Structure 1
Amino acid sequence: MKKYVLYLLVAFSSLTIMGCSNEVLSGEKPPAVQINIGNENYETKLGTYCWKNGCVDTVGPVDLLEGKEPIKVSPGEKVSFLMDYEPKPSEFHLMQIRGGNDKEVMIEENSFSAPTEEGVYYYSYGVWWMDDKEENVSHGDAFYSFVLEVQAK
């Protein structure tokens, strides 16, 4: 969990240093993100973000999702991200938190595979809308949280 807090601090601080521009974003806050598993879509919880009206800082995924029922998945099941918004973010990262430890998970074609080991896993999906002309200028960012429970069938 300490690594996750450090990760958020670095991300938040880098936006302050890099600069943030709000020229291309619409809406009062970042768009909703869903995850798709099988034929079902599930909501994620919006956490910390910087958008055109300023920045909002929240607790990490484990605290943010306290009391929320985990989404049940099979080992290795495909999990896809859905965002009905243009422009799409240009950068994204996925952190997995389990038992106080966190690690980055690779995303390919807007998807990742659920863990193969049974248990409860918390996730933070971070996305950034970076300027395509000016290096290190962000138009906005957002972190979305969700929790999965891997169960053998």
Structure 2
Amino acid sequence: PQSYREAQSNLLWQQAMTKEIQALEKTHTWDLVDLLPGKTVVGCKWIYKIKTRSDGSIERYKARLVARGFTQEYGIDYEETFAPVARLTSVRSLLAIAAVRKWKLFQMDVKNAFLNGDLQEEVYMQPPPGFPHSPQQVCKLHRALYGL
């Protein structure tokens, strides 16, 4: 689907959106608050993707809520940006050490890992489409959200 309106008519997409909202609530991503005067609000939108297995069969329907952070202004809405990523040389060094010492290697995926980071800035976001709230309420973000 290209829009929330299209997605809400399909039970599988509704379930995917519910699962995403539950993950955001579990990590206490935001609180609904009344918007204070003078505060700016970023919008949000749903992104939809069908995840497939290697054979092409459908694994799951994935809905991700993203903030429209491109409306923020540097120096006003945020100061610095930083994404902690391991350098390729560090990863290769660790793999070489593991190979020499014959260590077993494991990998894992942390679902919604990006969402575990606390926000340092004060960010207000429009509630997602379909999310129950009163007209004057916005989401005060406590944790990072895709798009910020």
Provide TM-score, normalisation by structure 2: 0.24
Q: Find the structure with the greater CA-based Rg.
A: 2
Structure with bigger strand share is 1
